[in-house]
């Protein structure tokens, strides 16, 4: 039902009144009507699924309109078509909004803490909150998540606590990774969230493999794999798309197209119509949505999940959004984009502002609630931050453990050498900050 709904949207979006508009071939509805469908006129090549034609057509990459971007609300939170307004109860809508705003508050505090030298690294999620929460709300709790590194909101929505976020960023004794990972490299078995790894796009073929395992297990679950438009240029992305399509895996590839791959703008990243155009090329169902519209993201992800589960095939979602913050604390985006550009997206088309207006119009939120929640959320983050900062670091020998099931001899020798070194120069190391075994 939901997949037919999106197909009807695509069909309507391609209709024009008097002007002739060029649309992508993958989005043209009924464009093959001029071709014969008789068997003798259809290609019999193993690698082709197309009719013959006696007209030489050149498929041009430039199109005037591009693949349509699905949205539910305008910038003021007003729903265009009530039939597309998802049936989400008010308590759940408030949970979604609180997750988005709590994420924003945590980002501000942890970003500033890195600037003060209290943690080593951080990445904010400013401007992309709707892509996290809208997609997370449409998934089942046990659907497996592979993130890239800017999906903290998915974990927050699923119940990963502020203490867990702060402990990981500090790498203290309560960090589940025991300080082995950089900050923001979260992971949680309880929340079905695979631990983040730094190399770009490595999660994509891994996610396709997990989805294939889900297919064989017939467990009714899907895998969702998040990535940015920059990661889509990696070879791993293409391998993942092809494996998932040919093996018919229940996976959602969720692209956050935020305009920049660190300092590389999309104009230098690709020449085609974004990432969505690649879906049909790999034989995947594809949806492009407004990533700043949390309801559109929710509908798109819910539809994609239905297709993945019921039809056992991959779906590509491209959520068009904008990265308001710097790429990370190692980046200064003012070197490659204007302040006015950032200000526009922050003030005119922010996903939190849009969702706030929607909730207020539904009677589910108020200015008084907003003020109270802002104070409460800030207090909660600061308290969790203070607790994490006071905790000791894990015993330094933990760096040698849990890499292998059984520690190999060469690693064991390194640990012995390190123990002798630390004992000899113990006055040069802040050992008081570490737990002793």
Which are the catalytic amino acids? 112, 198, 327-328
Q: Please tell me whether residue 117 adopts helix, strand or coil conformation.
A: coil
Which residue is associated with the tokens 């207006």?
357
Pair 156, 137: CB distance under 8 Å: no
75 Cβ partners below 8 Å, 6+ apart? Answer: 348, 349, 354
The full DSSP string for 42-58 is: B---TT---B--SS---
| CA–CA distance, 413 with 351 (Å, rounded to integer) | 53
Q: Which of 214, 225, 310 is nearest to 3 (CA)?
A: 310
Find the DSSP H helices in 278-338. Answer: 278-281, 294-311
Q: Which of 301, 266, 274 is nearest to 285 (CA)?
A: 301
Pair 226, 146: CB distance under 8 Å: yes
In 10 A of CB 238, how many CB atoms? Answer: 17
Q: Tokens standing for 95?
A: 């949970």
- Phi, psi at residue 342, to the nearest 5°? -65, -40
The full DSSP string for 383-408 is: HHHHHHHHSPBPPGGGGGSSSSSS--
């Amino acid at each position: 039902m939901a997949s037919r709904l999106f197909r009807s949207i695509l069909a309507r979006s391609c209709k024009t009144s008097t002007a002739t508009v060029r649309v992508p071939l993958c989005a043209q509805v009924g464009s093959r009507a001029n071709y014969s469908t008789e068997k003798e006129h259809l290609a019999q090549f193993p690698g082709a699924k197309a009719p013959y034609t006696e007209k030489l057509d050149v498929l041009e990459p430039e199109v005037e309109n591009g693949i349509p971007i699905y949205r539910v609300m305008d910038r003021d939170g007003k729903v265009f078509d009530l039939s597309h307004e998802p049936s989400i109860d008010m308590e759940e809508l408030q949970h979604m909004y609180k997750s988005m705003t709590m994420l924003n508050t945590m980002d501000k505090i942890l970003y500033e803490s890195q600037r003060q030298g209290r943690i080593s690294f951080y990445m904010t999620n400013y401007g992309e909150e709707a892509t996290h929460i809208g997609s997370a709300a449409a998934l089942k709790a046990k659907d497996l998540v592979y993130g890239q590194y800017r999906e903290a909101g998915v974990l927050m929505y699923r119940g990963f606590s502020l203490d867990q976020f702060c402990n990981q960023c500090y790498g203290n004794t309560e960090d589940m990774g025991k300080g082995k990972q950089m900050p923001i490299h979260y992971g949680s078995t309880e929340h079905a969230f695979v631990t983040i790894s730094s190399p770009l796009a490595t999660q994509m073929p891994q996610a396709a493999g997990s989805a294939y395992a889900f297919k064989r297990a017939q467990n009714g679950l899907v895998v969702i794999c998040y990535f940015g438009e920059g990661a889509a240029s990696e070879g791993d992305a293409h391998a993942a798309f092809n494996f998932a399509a040919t093996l018919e895996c229940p996976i959602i590839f969720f692209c956050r197209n935020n305009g920049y791959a660190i300092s590389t703008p999309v104009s230098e990243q690709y020449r085609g119509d974004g990432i969505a155009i690649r879906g049909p090329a790999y034989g995947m169902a594809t949806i492009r949505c407004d990533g700043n519209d949390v309801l559109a993201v929710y509908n798109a992800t819910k539809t994609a999940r239905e297709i993945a589960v019921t039809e056992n095939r991959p779906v590509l979602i491209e959520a068009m959004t904008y990265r308001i913050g710097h790429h990370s604390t190692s980046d200064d985006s003012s070197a490659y984009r204007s302040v006015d550009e950032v200000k526009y997206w922050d003030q005119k088309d922010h996903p939190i502002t849009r969702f706030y207006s929607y909730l207020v119009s539904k009677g589910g939120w108020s200015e008084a609630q907003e003020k109270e929640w802002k104070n409460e959320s800030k207090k909660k983050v600061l308290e969790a931050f203070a607790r994490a900062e006071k905790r000791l670091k894990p015993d330094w020998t933990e760096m040698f453990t849990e890499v292998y099931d059984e520690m190999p001899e060469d690693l064991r020798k390194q640990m012995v050498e390190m123990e002798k070194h630390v004992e000899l120069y113990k006055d040069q190391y802040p050992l008081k900050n570490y737990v002793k075994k």
